[in-house]
Amino acid sequence: TQLLEQSPQFLSIQEGENLTVYCNSSSVFSSLQWYRQEPGEGPVLLVTVVTGGEVKKLKRLTFQFGDARKDSSLHITAAQPGDTGLYLCAGNRGNYGGSQGNLIFGKGTKLSVKP
């Protein structure tokens, strides 16, 4: 059972369209991070959300953390071909053996933006 469910798994859209990607769980997370990953490369951190209900904007990307800190969404406005990639959400469950905790990743949403 996947702890973090991402939807949709695949998304193919035209340049200029808007889209929303979802990340859902039945577990509460102390924080949640969104990453973007290119093929054969490591994930690159886009944003961290910590407070329930928090909304963060990064240019055309808007990230929201659910009030109960169990889910999150990523909205992209006017998508561009450069937005193409695998979008991963990762939840931090907080203290684990005294550490900051490991990250639990979803399977990702593979986005393709066609010119």
Binding pattern to other proteins, positions 80-109, x when CB under 8 A?
--------x-x-x---xxxxxxxxxxxxx-
Residue 72 makes contact with other proteins by CB under 8 A: no
Q: Which residues have C-beta within 8 Å of that of residue 74, sequence separation ≥ 6? A: 20, 21, 23, 34, 61, 62, 63, 87, 89
Nearer to other proteins, 28 or 78 (CB): 28
Tokens of 77: 């406005």
Binding pattern to other proteins, positions 6-35, x when CB under 8 A?
------------------------xx-x-x
Rg over alpha carbons for the chain, rounded to the nearest Å, is 14
Residue 65 makes contact with other proteins by CB under 8 A: no
- Provide the binding-site residues for other proteins, judged by CB under 8 A: 4, 30-31, 33, 35, 40-45, 48, 50, 88, 90, 92, 96-108
